[in-house]
Amino acid sequence: MFWRKNKATEAPWGERYVNPYLAGTCLGLLLFITNLLTGHGLGASGGMSHLVAVATDAVAPRYVDHNGYFAGLARPALAALDHWLVWSLLGVALGAMISGMLAGRLHLCIHRGPRVTAPARLVFAFIGGTFMGYGSQWGRGCTSGQALSGGAVLSLGSWIFMFSIFGGGYALAYFVRRLWR
């Protein structure tokens, strides 16, 4: 009931996945409870911004002094690390690790297609992550914040964002799918 076998592929990292309807229902309940208790939706980019600001302040405090955005997030450091989004982000990472352990899929590996080398896959992942990181700041929210929280309150901008993400993904998939076969 809670776990299902993935019949589409015989993956070396395991076949057990949480039932998608159960996972979606739990995510919806979590979003509702988060809004009820905090008055805010879910999102990862805000927590990541606080962590990056504190790390940047530790390495290059003069840069943070001259950057109004980072200075507001990094100072005082304890207040920045006490922000609820930071703990939410850490909870997501811990929950993913526990889920992987329970499903028997927790191990280090680089998922890639047969036509892509491991270093190339890491470079592509870094480039894609960089684009998403900058895009989340320019768009004032990450995919979870925009799609889940914004979509749940029927924000037009969030729905446009969601359709753009999926449309862009499908358009790009045509060009890169040969690398995964």
Give the relative orientation of helices 84-102 and 45-59 as an angle to the nearest 10 degrees.
Answer: 110
Structure letter (DSSP) for residue 32: H
162's CB contacts (< 8 A; 6+ apart) are 146, 147, 151
- Residue 135 within a domain: yes
Q: Which amino acid is it at 100?
A: G
The backbone torsions φ and ψ at residue 46, rounded to the nearest 5 degrees and listed phi first, read -65, -45
User: Tell me: the pLDDT tens digits for 79-127?
Assistant: 777 788 888 888 888 988 888 888 777 888 888 888 889 999 999 899 9
Residue span of the structural domain in which 116 resides: 110-181
- Residue 146 within a domain: yes
pLDDT of residue 11: 47
User: Cα torsion for 163, 159, 143, 124, to the nearest 10°?
Assistant: 20
This prediction's pTM: 0.65
Q: Has residue 10 got a pLDDT over 50? A: no
- Residue 139 within a domain: yes
Sign of CA dihedral 171, 177, 178, 179: positive
User: Tell me: the pLDDT tens digits for 32-81?
Assistant: 998 888 888 887 777 888 888 888 888 988 898 888 877 777 777 667 77
15 compared with 97, residue with greater pLDDT:
97
- Residue 129 within a domain: yes
Under DSSP, is residue 12 helix (H, G, I), strand (E, B) or coil?
coil
User: How many structural domains does the chain have?
Assistant: 1
pLDDT of residue 16: 65
